[in-house]
Amino acid sequence: MYFRIIHNETNGELTYLLADTGAREAVLIDPHGRDVPLLLALLAERELRLRWVLRTHQHDHLQPKEPQLLAGLGAPLAQGTLQAGSHFTAEGDILAFGHELIRVISTPGHTESCLSFAWRDRFFCGGLLAIEACPHQPTPADPEELWDSVTQRLFTLPDETLLFSSHERRARAVSTVLEQRRWHPLFAGVSRDEYLARIAALTSKPLQAH
């Protein structure tokens, strides 16, 4: 197996490359159009065929050229919203690459159609926990759904499950369920009403430069 993190140090965006090196098939999670030449070079370097492009969420209304750019990767674009050129995927779907399987989990909140992807002991959760780190949407689209996704889906996973966000800002890109359940600044040790009050306070703050 091969696993690589591609980190944009300017805005904190993260992309993940997973590969079954025996079968020479790969998956990209949350790639960005501007990185297509780099990603194609990484795939060619290891002689990998890209099987899927997976998106935990998208902001194509702000980046309308993004789907067209990602089409240059030459693999099906799987996401939680149905649009031209994409493969709609939803809760419970299983996506294969080589001899590996990725399970799709519906985790709305950051955007209305957010997905997470479970692979082995790793859970790729997009903007689910990186509440203020997303350069395009620093507050959740639906705070109530986000609470349910985090507390009922993510925090019920085994403590040792590794969590990978699609954004980071002055923080580690990788954590565990145990860490986030105990110490996340918005979710740890609070009631739903207390969490919603914290989100309301965030929403009322002036936007900060990223």
CATH number for position 170:
3.60.15.10
Residue 57 in domain: yes
Rounded CA-CA distance 153/134 in Å is 21
The tokens 């990185």 sit on which residue? 35
The range of the structural domain enclosing residue 29 comes to 2-204
pTM of the entire predicted model: 0.90
* Residue 60 domain-assigned (yes or no): yes
100 in a domain, yes or no? yes
Higher-confidence residue of 100 and 134: namely 100
Instruction: Check whether 18 has a pLDDT greater than 60.
Output: yes
What's the whole-number average pLDDT of the chain?
88
The pair of structure tokens assigned to 12 is: 């904190």
Where does the pLDDT of residue 8 fall: very low under 50, low under 70, confident under 90, or very high at 90 and above? confident
DSSP 189: T
pLDDT value of position 207: 44
Q: Are 31 and 42 in contact (CB under 8 A)?
A: no
Total number of domains in the chain = 1
- CB–CB of 99/1 below 8 Å? no
**Is 98 among the domain residues?**
yes
C-alpha span between 210 and 204 (Å, rounded):
17
Q: What is the pLDDT of residues 38-80, one digit of tens each?
A: 999 999 999 999 999 999 988 766 667 888 899 999 999 998 8
Q: Is residue 210 part of a domain?
A: no
Whether 164 maps to a domain, the answer reads yes
Beta bridge partners of 175: 163
CA angle 190, 132, 166 (to 5 degrees): 105
Q: Residue 27: its pLDDT value, please?
A: 98
**Strand pairing partners for 126?**
165
Where does the pLDDT of residue 210 fall: very low under 50, low under 70, confident under 90, or very high at 90 and above?
Answer: very low
Assess if residue 29 is contained within a domain: yes
Does 40 map to a domain?
Answer: yes
